[in-house]
Each structure stands twice: as C-alpha cells, then as structure tokens.
Homo-oligomer: A and B are copies of this chain.
C-alpha cells in the first residue's frame, strides 16, 4: 500500500477499532492514540483497545480520551507484528481475516492483515504514521504530535539506538515545534525512577549472572524471587535493557516467569549479534537488537536451554 492508498482507506471506512499490542509500550500506544485522534479529527468514530489496559505511566497520551459507542466496522492494528501479540484478552481479533489494516515497522511482521503497510527499516510505527500524516496534508493536533514524538523517542531509546534513522531526527525536529513538553516526557519515559524501582534495579543487578567470558549477562526472575525481595512486580518492567549496560556484554537476556511453567525471554544485543535470530530458535522473533520468545519448563530447564544456546554462539 502507498500512503495515498492508506489515506483513501481512512476516507472510505468508519467506526474503527485500533488495536495495540499486549504489554503496551510508547510506540504502540503513541501510534494507537495518535491514529485515533487523527481519525476522530477527520470526523470518523474510532477507539483504541489494549488487552492489558493502558498503563498509568503513559496517561499523558490518553488523558481525556473517552471510548465512543458504535458498532465496529473496521479494525486497524498498529505496531503488531503477529496476531498473537494482540493478547488473550482480545483473542477474538486473532482469528484470520479480523484485521483490515496493519501498520507496522517490525521486520518479522507476519502479514496477517487483509492489507498491510510494513516498513521494517523504520524506527517506529509512530514514525511511519508521522510520515503518512505529513504526506496526507491534514494538520495534526498538539496531542497527536505528542503521541507520535513519544513513540519515536521510546522505540529508539531517545535516538540512541542503531534503529534511529535520519528521518526519526527530522520527524522529532518537526514534531517538537508543536506545543508539548518533550523534555518532561523524556524524563518520565527514560529517567525517573521510584524508590521501589531503584530497589528493583539494585536487586536485579546484584543477582545478574555472567556467561561466556562476561559477554553475556543474564537476569532470571521468578514469582518467588520477586515476592521475596518485597518489591512490587510492576517495578521490574523494562529491566530487559539492564544486562546490555554492562561493559563488554554483547548479549543481554532477561528471563521472567509468566505462568507456573512458562518463562518469557527478552533478548537484547549489541551490533555483534542478531537478537531476532537468537529468539527464532525458540519460536520467537522481533528486531535485530531486541527480540523475545516464550519457553516452557521450570526455571532450571529454561536456564539450561538458554545457556546451551548461548554456548553455541561461541562468543
């Protein structure tokens, strides 16, 4: 699809549900609320849905947002590479043929929607939307600008990561001219920690395991250890980026218990390794520097599988 075809798609449909991925991040929510605002400004009816709900820390994006009453006619998925990422709470949308349009920047996108716009080279779904809105020409509100900026900033680690393309900086330069406090948002997204969060970081860092001559750092969190340390579970969100902050580490692995015998792996790599390839062997996927998968078993079994896979890399 071209941008003008997407523009026509927006014109021709109405009563949109916009789906965002489970464990929502700044990019999926920025794209969801950015697109919702855009469609509503066009006079369309549109709602945003997330199987896990909308986290408080992103409330600046959806402040004042009210779901509208209507009979859904069209479903758009944003920043969702695979229908499984819609989450079990919205399982009805995982059936084949339920998604009309997918706008995404994951190279691993499964092309599950009836129509897709996927740019695997783009920094963020919000960057695609920004470029789309710019080409379509309709003015955007400050709130939409804030949503898109936040998605681009969060998915690039504030323009720090390799996935930052020049267009991401150009979009930021243009979006900053709208009225929203980008530095306050960045502080909120990247810097601010509660005392509980600081404790969680210390706990995780003190228990980090180093493998492969310190080239791999691994965190493992079970329900039990999280309970024992007396820190709220929510404080452990996003810790997957911690292992890669250690000097010399090329592969950062975070293992977190999801169910009694299911563990979620979050893998982060430097330019030396392909995180997506690492996760594919366990049926997962994602980006080249950030990917994930789920592994069944006890923590010991999962750890052994992961360590074996790390050893095979011969770092």
Contact among B169, B177, B271 with A184 in the assembled complex (CB-CB below 8 Å): B271
Distance, CA A98 to CA B79, complexed state (A) = 57
Give how many copies assemble into the complex: 2
Q: Is the CB of A23 closer than 8 A to any CB of chain B?
A: no
A176: chain B residues within 8 A (beta carbon): 164-166, 169
Q: Does A300 contact B (CB under 8 A)?
A: no
Assess A169 versus B160: contact at CB under 8 Å? Given A183-B271, A195-B246, A245-B191: no
State the Cβ distance, A108 to closest chain B Cβ, in Å.
20
> Is residue A192 contacting chain B, with contact meaning CB distance below 8 A?
yes
A82 interfacial by beta-carbon distance below 8 Å: no
Contacting pair A246 B192 (CB below 8 A): yes
Alpha-carbon separation in the docked complex, A181 to B271 (Å) = 10
Give chain B nearest CB distance to A179 CB in angstroms.
14
Cα of A160 to Cα of B172 in the assembled complex, Å: 11
What sequence of 0s and 1s flags, for each residue 179-206 of chain A, a beta carbon within 8 Å of any chain B beta carbon? 0011110110011111101100010011
Measured CB to CB, the closest approach of chain B to A269, in angstroms, equals: 11
Report the separation of the CA atoms of residues A183 and B197 in the bound assembly, to the nearest whole angstrom.
Answer: 26
A56 adjacent to chain B (CB < 8 Å): no
Q: Is there an interface contact between B173 and A167, defined as CB atoms closer than 8 Å? A: yes
Interface flag for A270 (CB, 8 Å): yes
Indicate whether A247 reaches chain B with its CB closer than 8 angstroms: yes
Residues of chain B within 8 A of A162, CB atoms compared:
183
Determine the chain B residues whose CB is within 8 A of the CB of A166 once the complex forms: 172-174, 176-177
- The answer to whether A195 and B247 have CB atoms under 8 Å apart is yes
A186 touches B160 (CB 8 A): yes
Determine if A170 is an interface residue (Cβ-Cβ < 8 Å).
yes
17 pairs from A and B in contact (CB 8 Å cutoff): A157-B158, A159-B172, A160-B186, A160-B187, A160-B191, A165-B176, A166-B172, A169-B173, A173-B173, A183-B271, A184-B271, A192-B247, A194-B247, A195-B246, A195-B247, A202-B205, A202-B206
A244 at the interface (CB under 8 A from B): yes
A183-B198 contact in complex given A173-B169, A193-B247, A244-B191, C-beta closer than 8 Å: no
Q: Which of A169, A194, A195 has the most CB of B within 10 A?
A: A169
Instruction: Decide if A223 is an interface residue (CB 8 Å cutoff).
Output: no
When distances are taken between beta carbons in the complex, the residues of chain B under 8 Å from A195 are 246-247
Question: Complex: how many Å from CA A181 to CA B270?
Answer: 12
Q: Which residues of B contact A70 (CB under 8 A)?
A: none
A60 in contact (CB, < 8 A): no
Residues of B with C-beta under 8 A to A197: 247
Q: Compute how far the CA of A270 lies from the CA of B162 in the bound complex, rounded to whole angstroms.
A: 28
- Taking CB atoms, residues of chain B closer than 8 Å to A161 are 183, 186
Give Cα A188 to B242, complex, Å.
14
The residue in chain B whose Cβ has the minimal distance to the Cβ of A214 is B195
